[in-house]
Amino acid sequence: MRIFFITLVSFIVLGVLILMARIWGMGQTFPKFEHAFFNGPAPLIIVKVDTLDKAKQVLAQKSDAILWLDVRLSKERTPYILVASRDQEFLTFKQKQQEENPSAPIFTGGRLSEYTWEQINEFYKTTPALKEFYEQFPTTRFVLNIVDNVSDAHTAIMNTIEGFKPNDRTLIQSDALIIMTSIKELKPQFVYGTSTPDLMRLLSFDSMWILPSTQFKGDVFIAPFTLKKRPAFNDEIIAEMRRRHLRIFLGPIRNQEELTIATRHKAEALITENLSELLLLLGEGPAQ
């Protein structure tokens, strides 16, 4: 009987604490975040590109498109653009070279960040440095998705783009929260997105009924449709982001079902890997 009573009291106390946390969270107010990055008709279109030629093609098709760049860092911390799915091509090549020359220091690590920009650029012939995008597209907006969580990433990014008037046209995104936090300390004028830890925390707190009390320091809510083979967000999380007056960026959008979800949530930006296909889904042009 005593154990039952203690358990009952524990549940009551827990319920009171949860209710208090939820009430506290609901009592918080949030100003709307405004920034020149968001200028233009909604929804904004964000297109993932990894070469200068692809960027030119996108901007020729839609001049106000925002370019999403997967930013990597070499051994000497030169920022360059390459999707992570292509890493294995380089690493396999280096392993083969090492097998053919056992005494030479060729395969020096299992991550691209352990190789120099010269080595990387020699292998990936069309891989551009981040600086080239800011030089060649001086009025274009960019989402910089920082892939490599390495030391001094924040200073390397800042030193690369600082001279190209980046304040109004740069959004920082990363799966690593520490990267966004470090860059934000240096450059609060940029727009900051949503890390994977942010998404996991929102999902966890929602499951515990204390979503309103969740800490979230991003300026915009950015989410794919799935995360670790499960939904990356739900109606409750979107509603909470709206309560905080945050804009919603969703994608990449690959089919009509995902576009329908984004439309239902009135997403202010749609992310795509193929501009022509997205415009076709939107009824704005034929696929090419």
Per-residue pLDDT at 10: 66
State both tokens at 183. Answer: 């860059």
State both tokens at 241. Answer: 């982001």
What average pLDDT does the segment 148-174 reach?
Answer: 96
Q: What is the pLDDT of residues 31-83, one digit of tens each?
A: 999 999 999 998 999 999 999 999 999 999 999 999 999 999 999 999 999 99
- The domains found in the chain, sorted by start residue, are 31-82+129-281 (3.20.20.190)
Residue 125 has pLDDT above 60, yes or no: yes
Ranges of beta strands (E only) in 137-179 are: 142-146, 170-174
Per-residue pLDDT at 209: 86
pTM of the model: 0.92
Q: What is the pLDDT of residues 200-212, one digit of tens each?
A: 999 999 998 899 9
Report in angstroms the alpha-carbon separations of 60 from 53, 137, 171, 269.
11, 12, 22, 19
| Residue 95 pLDDT grade (very low, low, confident, very high; cuts 50, 70, 90) | very high
| Residue 3 pLDDT grade (very low, low, confident, very high; cuts 50, 70, 90) | confident
Per-residue pLDDT at 108: 85
- Residue 175 CA to residue 72 CA, distance in Å, equals 13
